[in-house]
Amino acid sequence: MGFLDGLRGGREVHFDSGSAASNAIELTKRHNRVSLTKQGAATGNLRVNLTWRMRTSDIGGSQRESLLRHPFKALKPPEVLGHSQSMVNVDLDLGCLYELADGTKGVVQPLGGLLGDVNAPPYVKLSGDDRFGSASGETMYVNLDHRDQIKRLLVFVYIYDQTPAFDRTHAIVTLYPSNGPRIEIGLDERHPQARSCAVVMIENVKGELIVRREVQFVYGFQGELDRLYGWGLQWGRGYKSKADR
Protein backbone atom coordinates (compact mmCIF):
# COMPACT_ATOMS: atom_id res chain seq x y z
CA MET A 1 0.00 0.00 0.00
CA GLY A 2 1.39 3.42 -0.98
CA PHE A 3 1.51 6.53 1.21
CA LEU A 4 -1.49 8.14 -0.50
CA ASP A 5 -3.48 4.89 -0.29
CA GLY A 6 -2.97 4.88 3.46
CA LEU A 7 -4.30 8.41 3.76
CA ARG A 8 -7.35 7.59 1.67
CA GLY A 9 -8.00 4.45 3.70
CA GLY A 10 -8.46 6.52 6.85
CA ARG A 11 -11.50 8.37 5.58
CA GLU A 12 -14.30 6.12 6.77
CA VAL A 13 -15.19 4.18 9.89
CA HIS A 14 -17.17 0.98 9.32
CA PHE A 15 -19.30 -1.13 11.62
CA ASP A 16 -19.18 -4.91 11.66
CA SER A 17 -20.20 -6.29 8.30
CA GLY A 18 -22.37 -8.95 9.88
CA SER A 19 -20.10 -11.78 8.81
CA ALA A 20 -19.98 -15.13 10.55
CA ALA A 21 -16.72 -14.10 12.18
CA SER A 22 -18.38 -11.17 13.96
CA ASN A 23 -21.40 -13.28 15.02
CA ALA A 24 -23.72 -10.47 14.02
CA ILE A 25 -26.54 -9.78 11.58
CA GLU A 26 -26.47 -6.28 10.13
CA LEU A 27 -29.83 -5.00 8.92
CA THR A 28 -29.52 -2.85 5.80
CA LYS A 29 -31.86 -1.30 3.24
CA ARG A 30 -31.53 -4.40 1.07
CA HIS A 31 -31.65 -6.98 3.89
CA ASN A 32 -33.94 -5.20 6.31
CA ARG A 33 -35.59 -7.90 8.42
CA VAL A 34 -34.97 -11.03 10.43
CA SER A 35 -37.29 -13.44 12.26
CA LEU A 36 -36.49 -13.96 15.93
CA THR A 37 -38.87 -16.92 15.90
CA LYS A 38 -37.01 -18.70 13.09
CA GLN A 39 -33.72 -17.93 14.84
CA GLY A 40 -35.02 -19.66 17.96
CA ALA A 41 -34.57 -16.36 19.81
CA ALA A 42 -38.15 -15.37 20.64
CA THR A 43 -37.91 -16.07 24.38
CA GLY A 44 -36.15 -14.57 27.38
CA ASN A 45 -34.99 -10.97 27.68
CA LEU A 46 -34.05 -9.18 24.49
CA ARG A 47 -31.42 -6.53 25.28
CA VAL A 48 -31.44 -3.40 23.14
CA ASN A 49 -28.35 -1.21 23.37
CA LEU A 50 -27.60 2.26 21.98
CA THR A 51 -24.01 3.46 21.67
CA TRP A 52 -22.53 6.37 19.78
CA ARG A 53 -19.36 8.34 19.22
CA MET A 54 -18.39 11.49 17.41
CA ARG A 55 -17.69 11.04 13.71
CA THR A 56 -13.90 10.98 13.69
CA SER A 57 -13.96 11.24 9.90
CA ASP A 58 -15.38 14.77 10.31
CA ILE A 59 -12.69 15.97 12.68
CA GLY A 60 -9.93 17.45 10.55
CA GLY A 61 -11.66 16.41 7.34
CA SER A 62 -10.46 19.48 5.44
CA GLN A 63 -6.90 18.87 6.65
CA ARG A 64 -7.08 15.31 5.28
CA GLU A 65 -8.08 16.61 1.84
CA SER A 66 -5.17 19.05 2.02
CA LEU A 67 -2.80 16.18 2.81
CA LEU A 68 -3.94 14.35 -0.31
CA ARG A 69 -2.82 17.35 -2.37
CA HIS A 70 0.31 18.06 -0.27
CA PRO A 71 1.47 14.75 1.31
CA PHE A 72 4.55 16.27 2.96
CA LYS A 73 2.36 18.38 5.24
CA ALA A 74 1.97 15.16 7.24
CA LEU A 75 5.50 15.76 8.53
CA LYS A 76 4.46 19.06 10.11
CA PRO A 77 3.29 18.83 13.77
CA PRO A 78 -0.49 19.26 13.86
CA GLU A 79 -2.27 22.04 15.71
CA VAL A 80 -3.86 21.05 19.00
CA LEU A 81 -7.53 22.00 18.89
CA GLY A 82 -9.68 22.32 21.98
CA HIS A 83 -12.91 20.34 22.26
CA SER A 84 -15.85 22.67 21.82
CA GLN A 85 -19.13 22.05 23.62
CA SER A 86 -20.90 21.45 20.31
CA MET A 87 -18.43 18.66 19.51
CA VAL A 88 -18.71 16.61 22.69
CA ASN A 89 -22.00 17.47 24.41
CA VAL A 90 -24.39 15.31 22.40
CA ASP A 91 -27.12 13.56 24.38
CA LEU A 92 -28.83 10.76 22.47
CA ASP A 93 -31.69 8.98 24.22
CA LEU A 94 -33.26 5.59 23.58
CA GLY A 95 -37.03 5.14 23.64
CA CYS A 96 -39.76 2.73 22.58
CA LEU A 97 -43.34 3.18 21.42
CA TYR A 98 -45.35 0.10 22.31
CA GLU A 99 -48.70 -1.38 21.34
CA LEU A 100 -49.91 -4.47 23.18
CA ALA A 101 -52.28 -7.14 21.92
CA ASP A 102 -55.10 -5.77 24.10
CA GLY A 103 -54.82 -2.35 22.43
CA THR A 104 -52.83 -0.64 25.19
CA LYS A 105 -50.43 1.95 23.77
CA GLY A 106 -47.71 4.07 25.33
CA VAL A 107 -44.06 5.02 25.40
CA VAL A 108 -40.97 4.03 27.39
CA GLN A 109 -38.40 6.84 27.56
CA PRO A 110 -36.25 8.85 30.00
CA LEU A 111 -38.46 11.92 29.59
CA GLY A 112 -41.08 11.97 32.32
CA GLY A 113 -39.47 9.00 34.03
CA LEU A 114 -41.44 6.57 31.86
CA LEU A 115 -38.99 3.72 32.34
CA GLY A 116 -41.43 0.83 31.90
CA ASP A 117 -41.50 -2.62 33.50
CA VAL A 118 -39.99 -5.86 32.25
CA ASN A 119 -42.19 -8.25 34.28
CA ALA A 120 -45.52 -6.46 33.81
CA PRO A 121 -47.06 -4.49 30.93
CA PRO A 122 -45.57 -3.13 28.74
CA TYR A 123 -42.81 -5.78 29.25
CA VAL A 124 -40.24 -3.16 28.20
CA LYS A 125 -37.79 -1.61 30.68
CA LEU A 126 -35.27 1.19 30.14
CA SER A 127 -32.09 0.99 32.17
CA GLY A 128 -29.20 3.41 32.01
CA ASP A 129 -28.85 6.86 30.46
CA ASP A 130 -25.43 7.77 29.13
CA ARG A 131 -24.90 11.36 28.00
CA PHE A 132 -21.52 10.82 26.41
CA GLY A 133 -21.88 7.61 24.40
CA SER A 134 -19.61 5.37 26.45
CA ALA A 135 -19.15 1.68 25.71
CA SER A 136 -22.20 0.77 27.80
CA GLY A 137 -24.48 3.46 26.36
CA GLU A 138 -28.20 3.15 26.98
CA THR A 139 -29.92 -0.18 27.45
CA MET A 140 -33.50 -1.40 27.17
CA TYR A 141 -34.89 -4.86 27.94
CA VAL A 142 -37.88 -6.56 26.30
CA ASN A 143 -39.39 -9.64 27.97
CA LEU A 144 -40.12 -11.93 25.03
CA ASP A 145 -41.64 -14.55 27.31
CA HIS A 146 -44.71 -12.28 27.02
CA ARG A 147 -44.46 -12.04 23.23
CA ASP A 148 -48.11 -13.05 22.83
CA GLN A 149 -49.09 -9.86 24.69
CA ILE A 150 -46.94 -7.68 22.40
CA LYS A 151 -48.30 -6.44 19.05
CA ARG A 152 -45.53 -4.05 17.99
CA LEU A 153 -42.61 -2.10 19.43
CA LEU A 154 -40.91 0.83 17.71
CA VAL A 155 -37.43 1.51 19.07
CA PHE A 156 -36.35 5.09 18.43
CA VAL A 157 -33.51 7.48 19.22
CA TYR A 158 -33.90 11.20 19.87
CA ILE A 159 -31.77 14.16 20.91
CA TYR A 160 -32.80 15.41 24.34
CA ASP A 161 -31.47 18.98 24.17
CA GLN A 162 -33.19 19.57 20.78
CA THR A 163 -29.91 20.43 19.01
CA PRO A 164 -29.67 18.55 15.69
CA ALA A 165 -26.54 16.40 15.86
CA PHE A 166 -27.12 13.16 13.96
CA ASP A 167 -24.68 14.34 11.29
CA ARG A 168 -21.93 14.65 13.93
CA THR A 169 -22.47 11.30 15.64
CA HIS A 170 -21.90 7.71 14.61
CA ALA A 171 -24.61 5.70 16.40
CA ILE A 172 -25.55 2.05 16.39
CA VAL A 173 -28.46 0.17 17.96
CA THR A 174 -27.72 -3.47 18.76
CA LEU A 175 -30.23 -6.16 19.72
CA TYR A 176 -28.93 -9.05 21.81
CA PRO A 177 -31.41 -11.98 21.76
CA SER A 178 -31.24 -14.73 24.37
CA ASN A 179 -30.05 -17.05 21.60
CA GLY A 180 -28.21 -16.58 18.33
CA PRO A 181 -26.26 -13.68 16.83
CA ARG A 182 -26.74 -10.05 17.77
CA ILE A 183 -28.60 -7.77 15.36
CA GLU A 184 -27.08 -4.41 14.41
CA ILE A 185 -28.67 -1.30 12.90
CA GLY A 186 -26.31 1.56 12.09
CA LEU A 187 -27.56 5.16 12.00
CA ASP A 188 -24.97 6.20 9.46
CA GLU A 189 -27.07 8.33 7.12
CA ARG A 190 -26.47 12.10 7.14
CA HIS A 191 -29.50 14.12 8.27
CA PRO A 192 -28.12 17.37 9.75
CA GLN A 193 -31.50 18.82 10.83
CA ALA A 194 -33.08 15.62 12.19
CA ARG A 195 -33.89 15.39 15.90
CA SER A 196 -35.35 11.88 16.06
CA CYS A 197 -34.98 8.56 14.29
CA ALA A 198 -37.24 5.51 14.18
CA VAL A 199 -34.64 2.74 14.23
CA VAL A 200 -36.28 -0.68 14.30
CA MET A 201 -39.75 -2.25 14.54
CA ILE A 202 -40.33 -5.47 16.47
CA GLU A 203 -43.68 -6.86 15.39
CA ASN A 204 -45.75 -9.93 16.20
CA VAL A 205 -47.03 -11.16 12.84
CA LYS A 206 -49.35 -14.16 13.30
CA GLY A 207 -47.26 -15.43 16.18
CA GLU A 208 -43.90 -14.78 14.50
CA LEU A 209 -41.65 -12.06 15.94
CA ILE A 210 -40.16 -10.02 13.10
CA VAL A 211 -37.40 -7.43 13.54
CA ARG A 212 -37.49 -4.85 10.73
CA ARG A 213 -35.05 -2.03 10.07
CA GLU A 214 -36.71 1.38 9.78
CA VAL A 215 -34.05 4.15 10.12
CA GLN A 216 -36.52 6.94 9.41
CA PHE A 217 -35.17 10.36 10.45
CA VAL A 218 -37.63 13.13 11.29
CA TYR A 219 -37.17 16.81 12.12
CA GLY A 220 -39.51 16.69 15.12
CA PHE A 221 -39.73 14.48 18.18
CA GLN A 222 -41.85 11.63 19.52
CA GLY A 223 -45.10 13.20 18.32
CA GLU A 224 -43.88 13.17 14.73
CA LEU A 225 -42.81 9.53 15.00
CA ASP A 226 -46.26 8.80 16.45
CA ARG A 227 -47.98 10.37 13.44
CA LEU A 228 -45.65 8.62 11.00
CA TYR A 229 -46.48 5.18 12.42
CA GLY A 230 -50.08 5.82 13.49
CA TRP A 231 -49.81 5.38 17.27
CA GLY A 232 -52.40 8.02 18.16
CA LEU A 233 -51.01 9.16 21.54
CA GLN A 234 -51.33 12.64 23.06
CA TRP A 235 -47.99 14.39 23.57
CA GLY A 236 -46.83 17.14 25.91
CA ARG A 237 -43.44 18.52 26.85
CA GLY A 238 -41.48 16.22 29.16
CA TYR A 239 -38.30 16.46 31.18
CA LYS A 240 -35.77 14.00 32.51
CA SER A 241 -35.55 13.54 36.25
CA LYS A 242 -32.61 15.28 37.93
CA ALA A 243 -30.85 11.94 38.35
CA ASP A 244 -30.94 11.38 34.58
CA ARG A 245 -29.73 14.81 33.48
Comparing 31-40, 201-210, 221-230, the range with the smallest average pLDDT is 221-230
Look at the chain and report how many structural domains it folds into.
1
Bridge partners of 48, per DSSP, are 140, 175
Establish if 137 belongs to a structural domain: yes
Establish if 64 belongs to a structural domain: no
- For residue 177, pLDDT over 70 is answered with yes
Q: Which residue has the higher pLDDT, 224 or 54?
A: 224
Whether the Cβ atoms of residue 98 and residue 106 lie closer than 8 Å to each other: yes
Burial-class residue 242 by CB neighbours within 10 Å (0-12, 13-18, 19+): exposed
Whether the Cβ atoms of residue 189 and residue 178 lie closer than 8 Å to each other: no
Of 162, 214, 161, whose CA–CA distance to 187 is shortest?
Answer: 214
Domain at 209, CATH number: 2.60.60.30
Q: Which residue has the higher pLDDT, 123 or 163?
A: 123
Of 47, 143, 132, whose CA–CA distance to 93 is shortest?
Answer: 132
- For residue 223, pLDDT over 50 is answered with yes
Residue 203: give the domain boundaries: 3-56+84-244
Burial 48-62 (b: 16+ CB within 10 A, else e): bbbbbbbbeeeeeee
* Side-chain-facing half-sphere of 163: CA atoms under 13 Å: 11
Give Cα separations from 229 to 105, 117, 154, 175, 223 (angstroms): 12, 23, 9, 21, 10
Phi, psi for residue 67 in degrees, rounded to 5: -65, -30
pLDDT at 166: 77
Question: Rounded distance, CA 64 to CA 10, Å?
Answer: 9
Establish if 196 belongs to a structural domain: yes
Establish if 17 belongs to a structural domain: yes
As a whole number, the mean pLDDT across the chain is: 77
Burial 99-119 (b: 16+ CB within 10 A, else e): bbeeeeebbbbbbeeebbebe
Establish if 227 belongs to a structural domain: yes
Establish if 74 belongs to a structural domain: no
Of 43, 41, 38, whose CA–CA distance to 144 is shortest?
Answer: 43
- For residue 227, pLDDT over 90 is answered with yes
* Position 237 confidence tier, pLDDT thresholds 50, 70, 90: low
Q: What are the pLDDT digits (tens) for 87-120?
A: 446 778 999 999 999 999 999 998 888 999 999 9
* Position 3 confidence tier, pLDDT thresholds 50, 70, 90: very low
Percentage of the chain modeled with pLDDT above 90: 49
Establish if 168 belongs to a structural domain: yes
Establish if 70 belongs to a structural domain: no
Q: What are the pLDDT digits (tens) for 122-154?
A: 999 998 654 444 444 589 999 999 999 999 999
pLDDT at 74: 44
